[in-house]
Amino acid sequence: MRRYYRGHDLQRIHSVAEMAAAARARLPHFAWEYLAGGAEDELTLSRNVSDLQAIGLQAHTLRPCAEPKREVTLLGKARPLPIGIGPSGYNGMLWPDADLALARAAARRRLPFTLSTVSNATIEAVRQAAPELDFWFQLYPMKAAEMQEDLLLRAERAGCEVLVVTTDASILGNREWDRRSFARPRQLSLRNKLDVLLHPGWMKRVLYPGGMPVLGNLAPYIPPAERNALGSMKFVSEQMDTQFSWDKLARLRQRWQGKLVLKGILHEEDALQAVALGMDGIVVTNHGGRQLDGSLSAIRALQRIAPAVAGRTTVLFDSGIRRGTDIVKALALGADAVLSARATLYGVATAGEAGAGRVLDLLAEELKRNLQLMGCDDINALDSRWLC
């Protein structure tokens, strides 16, 4: 009887893992591989989860806390939970207008949503779809200065208060299992083509009537003849600034007047350098195990980095969040909040906005219950003494 629920009633999905199973059933294999896989032998992908699981929690008894405080102040704003949706690209392959679905789910819960440079929805469409959204924009540094400047101007006009600069993916990681779905670049193998035919619901949602979605956010800069899935991805790979440096980051800090967060930190020295350059925040992450395989798990990196920059900048944690207990552990180790991308993508791949919202609600419910069981009445009181 120990089987995950296979139906469509989201209230009968009780964990992120169960939502992931639902997403896997609804997606063709190549799309699932893109969503769930990691780089090379997937060591880091696995360690992100297992190293979090290895940390124990200390519980106190006879400390009633019926309504533990979960609100935090993050980057100068009060937020109801220490959770935000992190950036992820090409989400339209999972669900039509997936970026808009994620944004609406976040906005309904007053949580931040981060739109990727390589999103299918445009910055403008996201703002229109969710006018009250706590809107962050993620930037991949680009070679073409004019294109990057225009992206920044568009983000400013859309009211994005936080710019998240990703530094660990200018060279794409070796995602071998993703590549094995294709006989040649962007050409599915025969086996995967047949598998697509076994998922008519996905085909109807995603492919009808216009085929695979394109990178709408970058469409103004892509030559018209290349605004298809293959041409768009080729364009992105050619435009990534592989020479982005601390000097260029310093100039970007002068250019952007809002909050600036540096994403891709795994080393204490880099965290300290980010603080010295005036970053408002850093994201401790290994890109979900999708870049350098064998790198530190994100939670082990957090254990080293948070004490080095404590009180000097906002520390966000990303990579491996699957449970409310994972959030507790990250905060107890010095994070101010967490970003989750993959978990909410499982939700959006299953049921669009409702699925993403269900994942956020599950994490919020688990977080509350965990605090109650631990006897912690204020999330801001968490520190390493609550761990074992």
Q: What tokens were used for 242?
A: 């592989």
DSSP 191-249: HHHHHHHT-HHHIIIIITTT-S---GGGGGGS-GGG-SHHHHHHHHHHHB-TT--HHHH
DSSP string, 80-136: SSSEEEPP-S-GGGTSTTHHHHHHHHHHHTT-EEEE-TT-SS-HHHHHHH-TT-EEE
Active-site entry in 8, 60, 199, 287: 287
CB atoms near residue 7 (< 10 Å): 8
Distance CA 20, CA 13 (A): 10
Q: How far apart are CA 162 and CA 264, in angstroms?
A: 16
How many residues does this entry show for the chain? 388
Question: What's the CA dihedral at 379, 374, 51, 269 to 10 degrees?
Answer: 30
Task: Clarify whether 287 is annotated catalytic.
Answer: yes
Catalytic amino acids?
287
